């Protein structure tokens, strides 16, 4: 039988992010939240991160069992509750075993698909579902978002500085980038994604697995333009983009994700969403071409 000394209980509470006054209901709720955050399926794109998630989930399961056993020993006379907790413990053990099986199966799938193809788009068993590599998914999503927001934000910026001493193409360009940044931050904080990210199965959250606040989203957007695009400085942004590409390919996370403790999850994409992404992207490019043609006349 496991000995539940004070150090063991304190460590288990620390793993679940609780204090010594936590009730059984609070323990159960914290456990469920952490399982959602650290489940290995969320890191299927990166075997290393998936292994770390599996280890973390094992630690969470062990802490949860320790606290449940502790409450069973101290709640004497509640046999019915004890039976219920033991059933939950069995379910926890099954969950741990299922997580390990899922991790092993996903790693095997990754190795198989990598040996079959070096393409950035890797088909899995169903032909109508795909999983994009993180670096390509995020680049395409960023291009989609910038292009889709540039036109309306450009009109807003032009209206703001029209007939003022700031009126000019260069100033309008910087105003447009600023408004795009604010708009993307608002959408990201409100939905946890953007148009391009949604279509390509990308979701952004904070370290606790919750949606970003507006300030967190705004900080992320500024760091994207600073670290990823070097504030648009000619030639320099080629280096910064290549650096972030390699980092994403190697770790599945960009430098701004690490600095701000942001989690980016990737899911498999249905073929219809890929078609929708391509259709809308082509439509946006066509609208830009038509618009510039009208302006040049």
**pLDDT, tens digit only, all 297 positions of the chain:** 444 467 788 888 888 888 877 888 888 888 888 888 888 877 777 778 878 888 888 888 888 888 888 776 665 444 444 555 556 666 666 666 666 666 665 555 555 555 444 444 443 344 445 567 778 888 888 888 888 888 888 888 888 888 777 777 778 788 888 888 899 999 999 999 998 888 888 889 988 888 899 999 999 998 888 888 887 787 888 898 888 888 888 887 888 888 888 888 877 777 788 888 889 889 888 887 776 666 555
167 shares its domain with 26 = no
| Number of domains within the chain | 2
Q: What per-residue confidence (pLDDT) applies to 112?
A: 54
Domain membership of residue 122 (yes or no) is no
21 shares its domain with 68 = yes
Q: Which residue, among 169, 176, 180, 171, has the nearest Cα to 224 in the 3D structure?
A: 180
Q: What per-residue confidence (pLDDT) applies to 101?
A: 63
pTM reported for the whole predicted model: 0.52
68 shares its domain with 172 = no
88 shares its domain with 182 = no
Distance (Å) of CA 128 to CA 125, 138, 184, 185, 275: 9, 21, 30, 32, 11
Q: What per-residue confidence (pLDDT) applies to 89?
A: 60
From the DSSP assignment, how many helices (H) and strands (E) are in the chain? 11, 5
Q: What per-residue confidence (pLDDT) applies to 86?
A: 58
Q: What per-residue confidence (pLDDT) applies to 150?
A: 83
Phi, psi of 21 (to 5 degrees): -90, 5
Last residue of a domain, one of 116, 141, 158: 116
Last residue of a domain, one of 54, 87, 116: 116
What's the burial of 247, exposed, middle or buried (CB within 10 Å: 0-12/13-18/19+)? middle
Q: What per-residue confidence (pLDDT) applies to 124?
A: 38
140 shares its domain with 259 = yes
Q: What per-residue confidence (pLDDT) applies to 119?
A: 41
Q: Which helix H or strand E contains 205, and what residues bound it? A: strand 202-205
Other beta carbons within 10 angstroms of residue 156's beta carbon come to 14
Q: Which helix H or strand E contains 202, and what residues bound it? A: strand 202-205
Whole domain around residue 89: which residue ranges?
6-116
d(CA 27, CA 40): 21
Distance, first Cα to last Cα, the chain: 84
Domain of 79: which CATH number?
1.10.287.110
289 shares its domain with 142 = yes
191 shares its domain with 86 = no
**261 φ/ψ sector (left φ>0, alpha ψ -120 to 50, else beta):** left
Q: What per-residue confidence (pLDDT) applies to 123?
A: 39
206 shares its domain with 241 = yes
């Amino acid at each position: 039988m496991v000995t539940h000394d004070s150090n063991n209980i304190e460590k288990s509470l620390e793993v679940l992010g609780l204090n010594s006054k936590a009730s059984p209901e609070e323990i159960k709720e914290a456990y469920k939240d952490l399982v959602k955050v650290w489940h290995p399926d969320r890191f299927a794109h990166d075997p290393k991160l998936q292994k770390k998630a599996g280890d973390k989930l094992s630690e969470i399961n062990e802490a949860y069992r320790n606290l449940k056993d502790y409450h069973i020993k101290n709640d004497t006379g509640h046999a019915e509750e004890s039976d219920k907790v033991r059933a939950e413990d069995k379910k926890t053990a099954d969950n741990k075993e299922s997580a390990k099986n899922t991790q092993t199966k996903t790693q095997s799938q990754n190795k198989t698909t990598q040996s079959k193809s070096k393409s950035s788009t890797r088909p899995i068993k169903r032909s109508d579902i795909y999983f994009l590599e993180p670096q390509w998914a995020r680049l395409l999503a960023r291009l989609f978002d910038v292009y889709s927001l540039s036109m309306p934000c450009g009109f807003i910026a032009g209206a703001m500085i029209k007939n003022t001493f700031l009126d000019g193409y260069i100033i309008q360009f910087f105003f447009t980038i600023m408004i795009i940044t604010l708009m993307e931050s608002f959408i990201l904080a409100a939905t946890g994604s953007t148009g391009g990210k949604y279509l390509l199965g990308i979701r952004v959250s904070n370290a606790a697995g919750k949606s970003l606040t507006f300030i967190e989203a705004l900080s992320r957007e500024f760091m994207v333009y600073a670290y990823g695009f070097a504030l648009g400085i000619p030639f320099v942004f080629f280096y910064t983009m290549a650096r972030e590409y390699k980092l994403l390919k190697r770790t599945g996370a960009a430098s701004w994700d690490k600095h701000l403790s942001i989690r980016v999850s990737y899911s498999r994409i249905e073929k219809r969403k890929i078609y929708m992404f391509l259709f809308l992207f082509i439509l946006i490019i066509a609208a830009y071409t038509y618009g510039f043609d009208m302006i040049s006349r």
